[in-house]
Structure 1
């Protein structure tokens, strides 16, 4: 059994990670670290785990676990690793944004690999340290990777994506707490969202000539979880060939489904799946991509990476199904 530790155990991503690991056939939860909740029962904070996870939060991390998941706020993982050390045999998976960009990928002689399996699977398998992708970044990259592989991203890409309130974290803010968000909608960080860097980096990994703009409008949605993203770019190509291109790219991917049918957010919620829908509108390709921001966009993808690191079946613990009603 893989012994797993979680750092920063009281947030939404940690709660989702605990839900998945509690039912993983080849992993066990060794500790859940939280300085604010040390000594409390995990289920007193994550009430959906009552009867599932019967341990207490701790203020001490076991340095010899097999894998550590860092579920800290963005920018806090470096500080934690500077103050705490783990065994050389311990794999580290960071769910924050500290190590996602190439310029930040080496830290304390640790080489972090960008953990998007559909792009870097073989490199992930031999890595020790993983930078888990962002949620918006995952949905958008999966929508565009097949085009980049064939050098077809030669025009600006317009992106409009809406995320659930869990994407803003567990602590309520002026724009994330329920009374403000209910029956409301707004955009934020237009054209300058922090995930744009990692998206562009991955696209250039496949298409070195990529210089087009990613015109990204992120929105706050009136729902708790999921990302619904629509993208369009000028691409005067045979539509049947584009469909074949996408299906070929993802034919061996266990969590990505390509269709020409209309799709909705509920298809992906509570699962580690991404659904991609393709439509042709004149000379434009319209792509819809939906994921669960807490699963494929965070904790599920982190477990997927853990499975790859330890040579397990990639879908182990992640055979989750959505509810359509």
Structure 2
């Protein structure tokens, strides 16, 4: 028998991507799609690309399900859970940032859902907090070096597509503004910095300072980051560290060749490349912000928590052209 799934906030980008992926997952079936703002409409009315795979109508009533995905605006998951108590046996995966820094909520303790370092904890949990998109890309780029205790001051730039800002219309997501345009935002003050530092400092003995400048790009989806770090290790040794660190991580690929964002768009993969000049290295990483940075990683966490193969529902090819 398949596990039943409910998606809370199904009308957003991450919710609709969950619908697209779960419709082909062999172990689950979507039971209901919750939306306060669009209930009564079919999900395919909002996203015509789903017309051939899902004919469910959005509802504002909550039904019981084995698995719940919370795809709500940041800081709304706690409010929703207070208003809608969920049985202890239900697996909850929160795609917001409510529980990334402090996982305690009532009798639940949300595990940080980065499978590459918390696989065992995710496997035993009924409460999972999905990492942020930039946080995922930057952490995966830095964790092997943190384990070697070589991080101190890290300078990172990263560019993201318009879907990273969510579905709500804003001046900076309008086509006429984004087209042929790039800008920095939340310079040195992005909300994912604390999340990244918390996890990096668990591995790195010396306190790490992360100086992060995010950019808006004139494309729809994807993230590309570059981190500059002082490091005296030889490049061959660094590559060896990365390959060993991620040897059991099926969605992280280490490349000796230059990488680009299109290698990962529409996949749950993260690709990483390292360059070195003198005593400085540049670590590049690329992910799809809606998949490995959100919905894909949430499904990966669901698979792990249920003891299923990590790739289920996630065998996707990148959009190279």
TM-score by length of 2: 0.98
How far apart in 2 are the matches of 1:97 and 1:299? 14
Query: Hey, what's the Cα distance between the residues in 2 that align with 1:36 and 1:243?
Result: 48
Shift of 1:108: 1.3
Query: What SS class does the counterpart of residue 81 from structure 2 fall into?
Result: helix
Note the 1:48-197 alignment, pairs <5 A. 48-62=49-63, 64-101=64-101, 104-153=102-151, 155-197=152-194
Shift of 1:295: 0.2
Write the deviation string for residues 42-74 of structure 1: whole angstroms up to 9, x where unpaired: 100111100100110011111x31110000000
CA distance in 2, matches of 1:140, 1:246: 14
Listed one character per residue, the Cα deviations across residues 189-233 of structure 1 (whole Å, up to 9, x for unaligned) are 1111010111011111112x2323101000000000000101110
2:212 is matched with which residue?
216
1:36 aligns with 2:37: yes
- The residue aligned with 2:4 is 3
Corresponding residue for residue 242 of structure 1 = 238
Q: Is the 8 A contact 2:99 2:110 kept in 1?
A: yes
Equivalent residue for 2:23?
A: 22
Q: Does 1:281 align with 2:281?
A: no
Aligned length: 320
| CA distance in structure 1 between the partners assigned to 2:41 and 2:255 by the alignment | 46
Contact 2:197 2:208 in 1 (8 A): no
Q: Secondary structure at the match of 1:96?
A: coil
Which residue number in structure 2 is paired with residue 260 of structure 1? 256
The offset of 1:284, in angstroms, is 0.7
Coordinate RMSD, CA, aligned: 0.8
- SS at 1:24 equivalent: coil
Indicate if the aligned counterparts of 1:203 and 1:210 stay in contact, CA closer than 8 A.
no
Distance 2:286 2:277 in 1: 20
Three-state SS of the structure 1 residue aligned to 2:244 is helix
Does the aligned pair in 2 maintain the 1:233–1:285 contact within 8 Å? yes
Secondary structure, aligned partner of 1:210: coil
TM-score, normalised to structure 1, is: 0.97
Query: Contact 1:265/1:290 (CA < 8 Å) preserved in 2?
Result: yes
Q: Post-superposition, which runs of at least 4 consecutive aligned residues in structure 1 deviate over 3 A?
A: none
